[in-house]
Chain A
Amino acid sequence: MGRESSCGPYYQLRTQKGGNCIVGIPSLSSQELTSHLPKRRLDVYTSKIISSDKDLVALVFYGTEQSKNPRNSFKHVYIYHDLDLPGARRVQDVDGLRGEKGAQVAGETMGSGNTNLGEALWCCSNLYSDIKLRLSHKRLMIFTCRDTPHGGDGERDRQARTKASDLKETGVVIDLMHLMKPGGFDVSLFFCDVVSPPEDEAELGLQMEPCGKLEDLQKRVRAKEMKKRSVARLNLCLGEGMNVAVGVYITALQARKPNAIKLYRDNNEPVRTKTRLYHTQTGSLLLPSDTKRVQVYAGRQIVMEKDEVDVIKKFSDPGLELIGFKPMERLKLHHHLRSAVFIYPEEEMVTGSACVFTALLRRCSERNVFALCKYTRIRNSPPRFLALVPQKEEVDDGQAQIVAPGFHGIFLPYADDIRTLDTPQLPTASESQVDKMKEIVHKLRFKYRSDAFENPVLQQHYRNLEALALDLMAPEHIEDLTMPNVNMMDQRLGSLAQEFRDLVYPADYNPEGKTAPKRKPGEFCGTEKKPKVEMSEDELRGHVQKGNLGKLTVPVLKDACKQFGVKVTGTKKQELIDALTAQLTK
């Protein structure tokens, strides 16, 4: 191999609070430093920053000439970044190691020397132990392109293995992120003894290829990473005394911009918000128990305690209650309310659950039926009905899971959720028209993949943040995949579009024309856009005296009320008039 050493272990720790730390250790070779190596790490950094902003990350190079670590007790180990939250500065640092120029910089600062993975691992374990936070999850990723880092030095191999097992004993998960290597990367030569076996997934025969993980990492760039966590753990009740424990997961949900944080203008420090409830008259602070809840109907105020309002929503204890089964064709496509949930057994809560679940899953799937369930997520949440649609596991050639086994819970609408529409009575297309459209459809076929489209709104937001944080001149350009590629479509269609138009539209018809005599925006929004007619006080008094306020329109009256600071509770004309009269005859 031309490269003597270019490896980087990476580790990641999760704190109890959900925080996460990563330490990366790349090593440098004397001659060439592959430019993609730091690039990878940069991607991990930027991705980590967006995906899980509470993770601590460190970056350590090994196989360097220079050494930089506490007391410099480890040779050829260079702690580039200590274990900490990654920030803009670090991204810039790593960015500096990119490309040829970056390789040069790296060569100058760290150089390339002997490789001793054992020392590097030892150093990492010190980094972990120096952290005072309680970490929920510790992970170490080794980036390397060499399957025999010590070139057959048995002593060093042994030392590395020992250190690795020490680390694993303290709860560190070691992952291998191997990079491209001509001739293939042979994990069995050395690294199989160093990395952790896939966690609880060991017994499922789910062996992800290391390179798959790397792709995974890159794929996650600029998408908030979601930890696999159930939204609820409940009983699926098949009947009295037959409770199967299941976890409820969310597998697709609209991602939104992270929340903004309020900062103090002078020093850009975050401020805290406090909400206070106080009495308008006495000014004394109120406790929640000093309040009640009210709704007004037909002029009557209906008062309830806060507890009552909550308890009204309670129908049953949290859980999934089986109602029965229906053939799949009974599940209507348009019965969609919100993102589905995913149901998977929780053997740790009720042993035997997985077996019942598996049997149910298999038979539902084979018989093409779904289970109808009543779903109460938490205490005081009103019930919703779910169609539990079976999904069998699918794996790809490399035994990696593409589709997980379990039930998808599709939310079904109640009667109130379905709206009655007046459907227009219109002529239908003839066979020749339909056939022409089929040609068009044929020309514009593509293979849809659910992960093919990025959300341009989010992507732009992240790019903007990045640009601001890293002082870039302009945010990186995003490719908007939601825009139709009109040129390509036109090209593929050729004359078909014209032909279809000739078939369905008469010559004088303009399909782009306005659908209806469109109302001008001003008209639509009512009075808002109209120039406000301010009325002088005298004019108004005149009206009041003559008693012909009633001739004015409601908006004018409202404006008048605002103008003279008259408080009005209602919106009825008479109420406005009364209020104005009262004010001006004082």
Chain B
Amino acid sequence: MARSAKTALVLCLDVGFSMSNSATGQEPPFQQAKKVIQKFVQRQVFAENKDELGLVLFGSDNTKNNLAKDDQYQNISVHRHLMIPNFELLEEIQNDVQPGSQQADWLDALVVCMDLLQNETLGKKYERLNIVMLTDLNTPSSPDQLDIIIGNLKRAGITLQFFLPFPVDGGGSNPPHGGKALSREQQQGLEMTKKVMMSLDEEDVTGVCNPDLSVFKRVEKRPMAWPCTLTIGSSLSIKIVGYKAVCEERPRKSWSVVDAQTHQKDDIKRDVVYCLNDDEETEVQKDDTIQGYRYGSDIVPFSKVDQDQMKYKTDGKSFAVLGFTKQSMINRHQFVGTQVLKVFAPKDDEHAGVALSGLIRALDDLKMVAVVRYVYARNGNPQVGAAFPCIKEKYECLVYVQLPFMEDLRQYSFPSLENNKKYTPSEDQLSAVDSLIDSMMLVEEDGEKKDLFKVNHIPNPQYQRLFQCLHHRAVNPSVPLPPMDPWLTTALQRPLAVATRCQAPLETLKKKFPLKEVVKKKELKTSKELFGNSLGTGISTSLAVWERVGLHSSLGTGSSASLAVWERVGLHSSLGTGRSTF
């Protein structure tokens, strides 16, 4: 079964003494690396998939590996063999993984990892083998074996990924901005890593992945295909396959109620009883109840059976075009439903592909949409929705969104704002608003359009926080919950650059628009404390950088200049397996 295909991954962590060195005010590379590993393992544990994980430490005080002989492969320790990660591993990382006082060659460590992967995956099926190397490259290493190692990696199909505590630019050995210059070892090491990555990449071009977010992107849930036929009238049909493209993601597990003393679910039972509306509250059996609906002052008994018999029925899935209309006739704010579908032709059906492409391009040229009747399955509720054309560089599709029924609309009217003299702003006031907008533009117009705040790159904070707390409680059962991760708080705030820029316009705005709270309700006192204490420290910001390397600039914390930026050299997004967000 394809779904059981799993990944084997070895985390290879440098614990050598150079990892404990850091410029003043910065977190040592070791601590940063440890946090990355913790986050990653935490994610894997909560994802509860079959992916296996090993942990190799190098530069450790002890030596524990299969290859160690004489003075070969010393100070490399296989801390954990390949197995499904669990809370014990998290505890070990928290308590036992400490910086060592030795050093080891990262290439040697790489060989140990390869050896581990090869031995322990024998006879089992894996979708992917992967090694993740976390090091500052600050150890001398001998490049003579490099080509053999690259050859072996290729042959075994192992992908490799590096996490380094300094930025790697395409140009080569320029000193990194802000931080201290790289040591000679680091420069040499960097050249070697680049060589490894380059030569691996040629083999495996398809694996190239945008480094943005690949760390956080969840790939676990396989989209369910919805095969159907698009019909126009009775004689024109096109085979299609729909996929959910956007939909509110919820955690798979929910809370269950247990007894406070025993923590056993079975000790508690929830019971629903029905009783008459009399003084005695006479209980009646569930079987003696029927259902009804209110019809004015009456309640009309309407049994489930009758209801099923009389209800509106549909006779199967449908994606039938009712007609075409101008895109401008569809109001964006009237979209209803909780999902967006993308509709393609089936993978192996090029004729359907051509036909659908004809429709998509025609609609795109005419700026029109298809209004369709959508039924998910037999006896599913019918929807009316709009199928928009969507043409991307790599693919074409229809984007389907549900539109409201008459019953869904609420025709509220609101007092006019423009025609009311009391509310009409003066030119002066309008220009104050203008300068606020100018100072708070999140998309910079000049040159490359850079978006400082992409919501669709932020992991859902609710789950990030939930898993942070679950992790904490699992490992420290009796300790109060930790405060919010500072990077998370920062990620949800106005980017620092914007916050600074808008200070002056905001002050002007305050002067131009007198606002006065109508006192009497206490509910108004809120939100003043919101901003005060939430700015992260330097260290926490750098953690954010770790988390989402590609995002670093778009999150725009603005304070990155002096931080040690760990950047990934790897082009393979191997850390992105498993459920990557919480």
> For the complex, what is the distance from the CA of A144 to the CA of B323, rounded to whole Å?
41
> For the complex, what is the distance from the CA of A501 to the CA of B48, rounded to whole Å?
49
| 9-residue interface stretch from A61-69, A482-490, A539-547 | A482-490
| 9-residue interface stretch from A112-120, A178-186, A463-471, A552-560 | A463-471
Listed A/B pairs (20) with beta-carbon separation below 8 Å: A274-B275, A275-B272, A290-B260, A292-B259, A303-B473, A322-B494, A324-B441, A326-B441, A338-B248, A369-B437, A383-B461, A415-B459, A417-B247, A426-B347, A460-B311, A465-B295, A489-B323, A493-B236, A497-B236, A506-B351
**CB of B325 within 8 Å of the partner chain:** yes
In the complex, what residue of chain B is closest to A423 when comparing beta carbons? B395
Q: Which residue in B405, B420, B434, B527 is a CB contact (below 8 Å) of A235?
A: B527
**CB of B541 within 8 Å of the partner chain:** no
In the complex, what residue of chain B is closest to A446 when comparing beta carbons? B323
Tell me the residues in window 280-333 of chain A with beta carbons closer than 8 Å to chain B beta carbons. 280-281, 286, 289-304, 308-309, 311-313, 315-319, 321-327, 330-331, 333
CB-CB under 8 A for A424 and B347, given A321-B530, A336-B401, A418-B456? yes
> For the complex, what is the distance from the CA of A170 to the CA of B429, rounded to whole Å?
42
**CB of A461 within 8 Å of the partner chain:** yes
**CB of A529 within 8 Å of the partner chain:** no
Contact with A along B324-357 (1 / 0, CB 8 A): 1110011111111111101011110111111101
**CB of B267 within 8 Å of the partner chain:** yes
Q: A317, B354: Cβ atoms under 8 Å?
A: no
Contacts of A321 in B (CB 8 A): 494, 527, 530
> For the complex, what is the distance from the CA of A274 to the CA of B390, rounded to whole Å?
52
Q: Which residue in A233, A242, A435, A511 is a CB contact (below 8 Å) of B239?
A: A511
Q: B270, A277: Cβ atoms under 8 Å?
A: yes
**CB of B145 within 8 Å of the partner chain:** no
> For the complex, what is the distance from the CA of A187 to the CA of B338, rounded to whole Å?
47
Contacts of A361 in B (CB 8 A): 417
Tell me the residues in window 360-387 of chain A with beta carbons closer than 8 Å to chain B beta carbons. 360-364, 367, 369, 372, 374, 382-383, 385
**CB of B266 within 8 Å of the partner chain:** yes
**Total chain A interface residues with beta-carbon distance under 8 A:** 217
**CB of B363 within 8 Å of the partner chain:** yes
9 cross-chain pairs, A with B, having the tightest CB-CB distances, nearest first:
A426-B353, A85-B297, A382-B462, A408-B333, A359-B425, A87-B297, A429-B358, A423-B395, A437-B362
| 9-residue interface stretch from A5-13, A127-135, A148-156, A264-272 | A264-272
Q: Which residue in B232, B368, B513, B523 is a CB contact (below 8 Å) of A489?
A: B232
> For the complex, what is the distance from the CA of A313 to the CA of B526, rounded to whole Å?
17
| 9-residue interface stretch from A29-37, A70-78, A160-168, A449-457 | A449-457
CB-CB under 8 A for A453 and B406, given A291-B257, A312-B469, A330-B443? yes
> For the complex, what is the distance from the CA of A300 to the CA of B409, rounded to whole Å?
47
CB-CB under 8 A for A273 and B581, given A265-B290, A428-B396, A444-B323? no
Q: A440, B510: Cβ atoms under 8 Å?
A: no
CB distance from A486 to the nearest CB of B (A): 5
Q: B298, A469: Cβ atoms under 8 Å?
A: yes
> For the complex, what is the distance from the CA of A204 to the CA of B344, rounded to whole Å?
49
CB-CB under 8 A for A333 and B388, given A238-B436, A297-B46, A359-B430? yes
**CB of B277 within 8 Å of the partner chain:** yes
CB distance from B319 to the nearest CB of A (A): 11
Q: Which residue in B249, B257, B514 is a CB contact (below 8 Å) of A293?
A: B257
In the complex, what residue of chain A is closest to B524 when comparing beta carbons? A349
CB distance from B517 to the nearest CB of A (A): 5
CB distance from A445 to the nearest CB of B (A): 5
Tell me the residues in window 255-300 of chain B with beta carbons closer than 8 Å to chain A beta carbons. 255-260, 263, 265-277, 281, 284, 288-300
**CB of A201 within 8 Å of the partner chain:** yes
Tell me the residues in window 383-436 of chain B with beta carbons closer than 8 Å to chain A beta carbons. 383-384, 388, 390, 394-397, 399, 401, 403-410, 412-420, 422-425, 429-430, 432-434, 436
CB-CB under 8 A for A423 and B509, given A255-B408, A441-B368? no
> For the complex, what is the distance from the CA of A344 to the CA of B582, rounded to whole Å?
34
Contact with A along B86-111 (1 / 0, CB 8 A): 11000000000000000000000000
Contacts of A99 in B (CB 8 A): none
Contacts of B216 in A (CB 8 A): 415
CB distance from B223 to the nearest CB of A (A): 5
The dominant DSSP class at the A interface is mixed
CB distance from B343 to the nearest CB of A (A): 11
Contacts of A454 in B (CB 8 A): 405-407
Having A423-B397, A515-B349, one finds 16 other A-B pairs with CB under 8 Å, namely A237-B530, A276-B273, A297-B474, A326-B442, A336-B246, A405-B417, A417-B460, A427-B353, A433-B357, A448-B329, A451-B409, A461-B312, A493-B236, A500-B355, A506-B351, A511-B237
Q: Which residue in A322, A466, A483 is a CB contact (below 8 Å) of B295?
A: A466
Q: B416, A405: Cβ atoms under 8 Å?
A: yes
Tell me the residues in window 467-505 of chain A with beta carbons closer than 8 Å to chain B beta carbons. 468-469, 475, 478, 480, 482-486, 489-490, 493, 497-498, 500-501, 503-505
**CB of A239 within 8 Å of the partner chain:** yes
Contacts of B460 in A (CB 8 A): 382, 414-417
**CB of B80 within 8 Å of the partner chain:** no
Q: A429, B255: Cβ atoms under 8 Å?
A: no
Contacts of B2 in A (CB 8 A): none
> For the complex, what is the distance from the CA of A333 to the CA of B16, rounded to whole Å?
50
> For the complex, what is the distance from the CA of A317 to the CA of B534, rounded to whole Å?
13
**CB of A458 within 8 Å of the partner chain:** yes
**CB of A158 within 8 Å of the partner chain:** no
**CB of A121 within 8 Å of the partner chain:** no
CB-CB under 8 A for A252 and B408, given A312-B466, A323-B442, A413-B456? yes
Contacts of A91 in B (CB 8 A): 296
Contacts of B528 in A (CB 8 A): 240-241
> For the complex, what is the distance from the CA of A258 to the CA of B245, rounded to whole Å?
30
Q: B293, A260: Cβ atoms under 8 Å?
A: yes
Tell me the residues in window 291-323 of chain B with beta carbons closer than 8 Å to chain A beta carbons. 291-302, 307, 310-312, 320-323
Tell me the residues in window 563-586 of chain A with beta carbons closer than 8 Å to chain B beta carbons. none
Contacts of B239 in A (CB 8 A): 511, 515
Q: Which residue in A273, A383, A414 is a CB contact (below 8 Å) of B274?
A: A273
Give the tally of cross-chain contacts (CB within 8 A).
Answer: 679
> For the complex, what is the distance from the CA of A252 to the CA of B459, rounded to whole Å?
27
> For the complex, what is the distance from the CA of A260 to the CA of B305, rounded to whole Å?
13
Contact with A along B66-94 (1 / 0, CB 8 A): 00000000000000000011110000000
**CB of B192 within 8 Å of the partner chain:** no
Q: A511, B352: Cβ atoms under 8 Å?
A: yes
CB distance from A201 to the nearest CB of B (A): 6
**CB of A532 within 8 Å of the partner chain:** no
CB distance from A270 to the nearest CB of B (A): 6
Q: Which residue in B221, B233, B338 is a CB contact (below 8 Å) of A493?
A: B233
Contacts of A336 in B (CB 8 A): 246, 335, 337, 339-340, 401
**CB of B218 within 8 Å of the partner chain:** yes
CB-CB under 8 A for A261 and B273, given A350-B516, A356-B515, A405-B416? no
CB distance from A200 to the nearest CB of B (A): 7
Q: A490, B437: Cβ atoms under 8 Å?
A: no
> For the complex, what is the distance from the CA of A293 to the CA of B434, rounded to whole Å?
50
**CB of A226 within 8 Å of the partner chain:** yes
**CB of B162 within 8 Å of the partner chain:** no
**CB of B205 within 8 Å of the partner chain:** no
CB-CB under 8 A for A326 and B429, given A263-B291, A424-B344? no
CB distance from B77 to the nearest CB of A (A): 24
Q: A404, B414: Cβ atoms under 8 Å?
A: yes
Contact with B along A244-257 (1 / 0, CB 8 A): 11000111111100
Q: Which residue in B231, B323, B415, B461 is a CB contact (below 8 Å) of A201?
A: B415
Contacts of B241 in A (CB 8 A): 515
Contacts of A413 in B (CB 8 A): 246, 248, 455-456
In the complex, what residue of chain B is closest to A387 when comparing beta carbons? B455
Q: B277, A291: Cβ atoms under 8 Å?
A: no
Q: Which residue in B257, B274, B310 is a CB contact (below 8 Å) of A475?
A: B310
CB distance from A499 to the nearest CB of B (A): 10
Q: A298, B86: Cβ atoms under 8 Å?
A: yes
